């Protein structure tokens, strides 16, 4: 064999080896890809870098409890623990159906979107879902008897929304029927964060293999921050466009009413809460309710702090600070002045009582005690604000009629004190 033939022979062997290596590498890559598909439970191919399946995006402007990142075929949602516990921060991957679960998020909880079957564990979550026009996705609820919305009540009576709890409490705790939830096979269960592992339903759901998604809107101190959680719910439905429109409309209305109240030269004094077994529970000065009072042009004189939760006081302290206040707003559990006096005759000493200027958010309550203030009102602080401005500055909103609030400064015969 000549030297030239030997070279050609060597080149041929080398070419064959290269082809074999390429073929083996392809088989390994294909096998790895197939395994990943089986693990993720999807059949879709890996997204191209330039694809964007979510042209409509919704980022929180005011809400502090969550954030979102958009990628081509999935969203990364971060839940920020309301109590500042870093170890309790949670990450969700919302992956478009038919697409692969991305790598690099080993501890993230995965949901495939858009969801079509959900179970909210609190009636406060209902308005977000209905406002997104996704009422039909609600398959179960804890406390169907508390529902104020007539359409949702009808669906529950028809058996289309199933009771998955005791039906007698707004708080889940251990009342939920986990077996019933499993039977309904929801894509997601929306649960309310409580900060207590003994009562927080998400831990019990996880133990049962159910995927919960935390809702912490009630920890937002800004009324519009609570509204903005509609964007969070929209992430699961790919309804960001609708959520942005709803939030923008409510924000604009709230701002317009606030601007009217800001022009008032006089700020009526007010106090809030009621005594319960020797302790008066009043809204903290840095919380949601106090913010509404201020935005309505009121001077909330009872508590001067930055706490977001309730402040506890004794009756004597409250009387000292509020005996001559103009209004008593958010009474508690009394429906009229007769009931109030039955609880404690000392209430009659307040000027607001004697002048009949007492108001409570029980204007929309169903026969079982379900209060719409804590349902649609969560999404509509603009209407709550209008009610408060009507109470404190009636001349600013002459055509507005109280919606969530009711004047309780009358006795059972219809007369005032």
Mean pLDDT of the 292-320 span: 92
CATH number at 66-250: 3.40.50.1980
Mean pLDDT for the chain overall: 86
Burial of 345 (0-12, 13-18, 19+ CB in 10 A): exposed
> Would you list the DSSP string of 249-265?
HHHHHHHHHHHHHHT-S
Q: How far apart are CA 229 and CA 126, in angstroms?
A: 12
Phi, psi of 310 (to 5 degrees): -70, 145
Helix (H) or strand (E) holding 91: strand 90-96
Contact 353, 328 (CB under 8 A): yes
Q: For 67-90, write each residue's pLDDT tens digit.
A: 999 999 999 999 997 767 766 789
Tokens of 297: 């042009």
- Domain range annotation of the chain: 66-250, 263-407
319 three-state secondary structure: helix
Mean pLDDT of the 15-40 span: 40
Burial of 396 (0-12, 13-18, 19+ CB in 10 A): middle
Strand ordering across the sheet containing 66-70: 66-70, 74-79, 90-96, 109-113
Torsion of CA 14, 19, 25, 27, to 10 degrees: -150
Contact 92, 79 (CB under 8 A): yes
Torsion of CA 13, 19, 25, 26, to 10 degrees: -160
Mean pLDDT of the 305-334 span: 92
- Contacting residues for 268 by C-beta, under 8 A, at least 6 apart: 297, 298, 299, 326, 327, 392, 393
pTM of the predicted model as reported, rounded to 2 decimal places: 0.85
Q: For 277-296, write each residue's pLDDT tens digit.
A: 999 999 999 999 999 999 99
Specify the pLDDT at position 202.
80
DSSP 396: G
Q: How far apart are CA 227 and CA 246, in angstroms?
A: 9
- Can 66-250 and 263-407 be said to share one CATH topology? yes
CATH number at 263-407: 3.40.50.1980
49 pLDDT band, cuts 50/70/90, is low
């Amino acid at each position: 064999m000549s030297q030239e033939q030997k070279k050609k022979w060597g080149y041929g062997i080398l070419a064959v080896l290269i082809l074999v290596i390429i073929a083996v590498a392809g088989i390994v890559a294909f096998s790895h890809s197939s395994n990943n598909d089986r693990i993720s439970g999807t059949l879709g191919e890996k997204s191209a870098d330039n694809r964007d399946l979510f042209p409509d995006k919704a980022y929180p402007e005011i809400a502090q409890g969550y954030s979102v990142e958009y990628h081509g075929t999935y969203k990364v949602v971060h839940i920020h623990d309301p109590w500042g516990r870093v170890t309790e921060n949670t990450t969700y991957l919302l992956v478009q159906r038919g697409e692969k679960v991305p790598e690099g998020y080993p501890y993230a909880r995965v949901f495939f979107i858009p969801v079509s079957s959900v179970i909210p564990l609190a009636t406060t979550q209902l308005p977000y879902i209905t406002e997104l026009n996704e009422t039909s996705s609600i398959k179960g609820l804890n406390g169907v008897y508390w529902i104020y919305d007539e359409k949702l009540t009808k669906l529950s009576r028809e058996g289309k929304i199933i009771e998955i709890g005791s039906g007698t409490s707004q708080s889940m705790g251990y009342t939920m029927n986990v077996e019933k939830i499993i039977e309904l096979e929801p894509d997601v269960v929306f649960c309310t964060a409580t900060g207590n592992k003994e009562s927080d339903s998400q831990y019990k759901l996880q133990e049962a293999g159910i995927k919960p998604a935390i809702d912490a809107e009630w920890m937002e101190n800004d009324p519009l921050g609570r509204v903005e959680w509609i964007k969070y719910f929209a992430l699961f439905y790919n309804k960001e466009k609708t959520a942005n429109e709803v939030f923008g409309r409510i924000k604009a209305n709230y701002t317009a009413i606030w601007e009217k109240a800001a022009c008032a030269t006089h700020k009526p004094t007010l106090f809030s809460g009621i005594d319960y077994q020797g302790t008066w529970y009043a809204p903290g000065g840095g919380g949601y309710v106090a913010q509404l009072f201020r935005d309505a042009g009121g001077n909330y004189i009872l508590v001067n702090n930055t706490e977001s939760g309730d402040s506890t006081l004794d009756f004597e302290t409250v009387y000292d600070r509020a005996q001559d206040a103009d209004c008593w707003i958010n009474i508690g559990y009394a429906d009229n002045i007769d009931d109030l006096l039955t609880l404690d005759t000392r209430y009659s000493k307040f000027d607001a009582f004697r002048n009949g200027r007492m108001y409570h958010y029980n204007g929309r309550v169903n026969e079982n005690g379900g209060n719409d203030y804590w349902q649609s009102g969560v999404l509509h602080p603009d209407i709550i604000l209008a009610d408060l401005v009507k109470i404190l500055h009636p001349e600013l909103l002459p055509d507005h009629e109280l919606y969530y609030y009711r004047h309780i400064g009358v006795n059972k015969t219809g007369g005032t004190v």
